[in-house]
Structure 1
């Protein structure tokens, strides 16, 4: 009887907190529809890894001895040892992206770069708050609103806060429709949000579409070698899409591979959400800093658009700059929705998609640049 009750009597208050966190993530996934494919596995996994004597993590169980937990094995094999899971997910993401709107209007690439401002600002703030440089860099990447990049950077840098960083990154991705409108309105006027931008796309040849992912991968390798795995897998997925001879592989990458890896990644990252590592005051600070990074990434893109308008006759709607974060395609949809609300005849979706896909490239490049800088400094 004592053995049967040992699990209940072993529960700690921090574990109870993590049960609440797990239920909260599941609630947000099911009832609110916030990134359900990621938040639901993460929430359920958070409950599993905090059950005493559950066996999903390595433990010594009474009467059994050492056990090798499946979730811990997945984490150590798929993330800690090789970073395989987040990297494989990039193949699926790349296969989903159409870079046509960006290639037909290359100026949109600038907004992807400008919308990474919050990352580097947050790194500085985190260092001032006492975080180690590797932890501060990992926290700053949350601002890219790119979960796989956040996980990969924090893992390579051996951050002590992978769990909170992953939760913050994916939570803020899900909260794009709530956070970005607030940040955009904070720094724009109604008149600026009503600026019209006719869409006159330039035809992009198949040759350019094929050469683009190859060129981006090579440039990334020269400029930020640590980003090659990030950018390379993203661009490989896009090459599958654009080559025109691997339709079945492209479909598999977009659907089967992306869904399977997303499922495994969500429950695997929950290993870093064990109570002893997650229930700390640093977790709360990381959540606040992640939101800070996200908001200032958005503001950085908007302010850059306003700066460019000082030198342009044909003005750019500054909301486009906000789409330069990596949350594809949610951020582009937010800009479109806001533009329609301000003027029902003003459609900015394709412009916003151009900036949004550039943000996808810029975020992984930013992750590589951060890794390169820290490799040099440390």
Structure 2
């Protein structure tokens, strides 16, 4: 009885806060369907790692006389140290599944959408500057800024390579804002557009994309990204490898495995593993609130940056672009494309922007991982 009470009595208020946060993440996953494959494991893991003397973390084994007789290894800590800390394997492997899910056809048939993927990364660099002004060192600021990519695995990878002590807060922010795309993006878009601009129609005249082009595309992108931003090779390369599995036509079973079994397994493990960095002593801090706010700024500015760039282009184009397309240049695929289509239909039932938005959206997936590689390359040079 005394042993049971000692566990209860050792709970701190910070751990109670983490139980609440874990419960909120589980609620959002199950009841609101916000990124359930990630938020549910993260929420449950946050509870597990904050139980007193939790067995999912490494613990010293003590005899009845108080003598240390060994160490018990916790499964979540082991997964974190092996799969994220030592090799970054889990977030990188997930890109194979993501690549296998993406159809680059809408982008290849309308190549000008490439530019919106680049334009919609503005928020990353804006947030890096803001985080630096808020007192974070450059590596932590860069890790926070990448939240604006709206790409959870990239955020985890960059923050882990830089050794940021805020990995847990960054991961929660990245995945939370990805889940909140249908709420945040419409507000950001309406902030900088007029009803008339949102009603601009864009006829979709897709060009046929040959199988050869589809196969060469991931190879060429990997080579170019490797030459321009060598640190992005693991990110872009695995993303494009997954896409090559999809497009080659002779590895259907591997492609389907990457899209389903591999992606689901890695997502499950990544979600519960990242909870290791959500321990109360690290997570419950003023810095966590600041990171959540800066992450929101990065996400909003990414969307706004893409929209404003589209409006700038319209000053020189005869056939106007619906500026909402620019916001689809973030990496949250396919959620952002669907949001743009829904907003277009709300303004004008006959306005169909989905395929344009999909082109910009998949461009954003490439741009976000390239941006991550550029940040990994440039930041050490600036220190």
1:317 aligns with 2:322: yes
Q: Quick check: 1:200 aligned with 2:199?
A: no
User: Structure 1 length normalisation: TM-score?
Assistant: 0.99
In the TM superposition, residue 65 of structure 1 has moved relative to its aligned partner by 4.8
Counterpart of 2:228? 223
In 2, Cα distance between the equivalents of 1:191 and 1:105? 24
DSSP 3-state at the match of 1:66 = strand
Partner of 2:121: 116
Matched with 1:291 is: 296
Rounded Cα–Cα distance in structure 2 between residues aligned with 1:158 and 1:166: 14
**2:51 aligned partner:** 51
Which whole-Å CA distance do the structure 2 matches of 1:302 and 1:261 have between them? 33
Q: Residue 165 of structure 2 aligns to a residue in which SS? A: coil
Q: What is the distance in 2 between the residues matched to 1:207 and 1:269? A: 39
Distance 1:377 1:2 in 2: 55
Q: Does 1:81 align with 2:86?
A: yes
Does the CA contact (< 8 Å) of 1:122 and 1:289 recur in 2? Answer: yes
Map 1:207-356; keep pairs closer than 5 Å: 207-356=212-361
Q: Which residue of 2 aligns with 1:13?
A: 13
Q: Write the deviation string for residues 299-351 of structure 1: whole angstroms up to 9, x where unpaired.
A: 00000000001110000000000000000000000000000000011010000
- Post-superposition offset of 1:9: 1.0
1:62 Cα deviation (Å)?
A: 4.6
From 121, 140, 144, the equivalent of 1:139 is 144
Summarize deviations over 1:67-106 as a string: whole Å, max 9, x none.
2100000000000000000000000000000000000010
State the Cα distance separating 1:5 from its structure 2 match: 1.7
User: Which residue of the partner structure matches residue 36 of structure 1?
Assistant: 36
Q: 1:128-162 CA distances to partner (integer Å, 9 max, x unpaired)?
A: 11101000000000001100000000000111100
Could you tell me which residue of structure 1 aligns to residue 26 of structure 2? 26
Q: Provide the rounded CA distance (Å) in 1 between the counterparts of 2:8 and 2:137.
A: 37
What is the Cα deviation at residue 375 of structure 1?
2.5
Aligned residues: 378
2:108 corresponds to 1:103? yes
Gaps of 5+ in 1: none
Instruction: Answer yes or no: is the 8 Å Cα contact 1:323–1:352 preserved in 2.
Output: yes
Shift of 1:198: 0.5
Name the Cα RMSD after superposition.
0.8
Q: How far did 1:60 drift?
A: 2.3
CA, structure 1 residues 13+61, in 2 after alignment: closer, same or farther (shift >3 Å)?
Answer: farther
Runs of 4+ in 1 over 3 A off after TM superposition: 61-65
| Pair 1:298–1:171, CA change in 2 (3 A) | same
SS, match of residue 60 in structure 1: strand
Distance in 2 between the 1:345 and 1:25 partners?
A: 38
